[in-house]
Amino acid sequence: MSRAVLSIGSNIGDRLAHLRSVVDALGERAVAVSAVYSTAPWGGVEQEDFLNAVVVAEDAAFGPRDWLRFGQELEEAAERVRIQRWGPRSLDVDVVTCVSGEGEVRSDDRELILPHPRAHQRAFVLVPWLDVEPEAVLTAEGRRLGIGDWLDELDAAEREGVHRTDLTLAGPKTQGHAEC
C-alpha cells in the first residue's frame, strides 16, 4: 500500500476546474480532500492568488515515482508551462510525503525529494493538510514534528495569508475529514 499527500494549486484559467481534475483523476484513490483555500503567491513573483488544497490518496500499485508521474501528467493535461520558478501555473501537483509498507519514504533524488523539502515552510500546504490529517507528522531539517507544530513556527503573516473559501472539490469521501 502506498499513501501520498498531494498539495495542489492553481492560479491561471479555471483554477477550481484544474483542482477538481486532480480529484476526478484520483477517483476512489482519494481518501481525504481538504477544503479549498485562497492564498497569496509564494516566492516573490507578482501574480494572481492561488487556490490550494491537499488530497490524501492511496493506491496499492503506486510507489513514490508513480505519484510523481501522475501529478506531472495532470499538469501537462492542464497545459502547465514552466517558464519561471514559483511563477504562475495552471496546475501544480506536489508530492508532499509518501508512506509505503515500510514507513515514510525518504528520497534525496533531485527529481523527487521526499518529504517535500519546503512543505514545512508553506502555510498553503500545512493549513489544508491539517484539515484532513490533524495528527500528521512531517520530517524536515532533521526534525519530526506534527504539521500543526510546523504551522505554529511560521510567521503570522504567512499563516494569515491562507483563507478558507466556500469552494469545494467533489470527492468520494467527506471533504475536510480523513476517513481511513
The string of pLDDT tens digits covering residues 123-175 is 999 999 999 999 999 999 999 999 999 999 999 999 999 999 999 996 444 44
Gap between the Cα atoms of 58 and 28, Å rounded: 9
Scan for cell 483554477, then name that residue.
Answer: 15
Q: Residue length, the chain?
A: 180
Write out pLDDT tens, residues 51-110: 999 999 999 999 999 999 999 999 988 876 666 666 678 899 999 999 987 778 888 888
Chain segment 36-46, per-residue pLDDT in tens:
999 988 666 67
Task: Please report the pLDDT score of residue 177 as a whole number.
Answer: 45
What per-residue confidence (pLDDT) applies to 175? 46
Class of the domain covering 2-164: alpha beta
Q: Comparing 35 with 105, which gets the higher pLDDT? A: 35
User: How confident is the model at residue 172, as a pLDDT?
Assistant: 45
Contacts of 120 (CB under 8 A, 6+ apart): 126, 138, 140, 141, 145, 150, 153
Q: Which residues pair with 92 in a beta bridge?
A: 9
Q: Which of 39, 56, 57 is nearest to 165 (CA)?
A: 39
Predicted local distance difference test score (pLDDT) of residue 163: 97
CB 114 within 8 A of CB 19: no
The residue written with cell numbers 481518501 in the block is: 31
Cβ contact 169:43 at 8 Å: no
User: What pLDDT, on the 0 to 100 scale, is given for residue 94?
Assistant: 93
- Which pLDDT score is estimated for 179? 39
> Which residues does 161 contact at the CB level (< 8 Å), separation at least 6?
39, 40, 123, 124
Sorted by where each begins, the domain ranges of the chain are 2-164
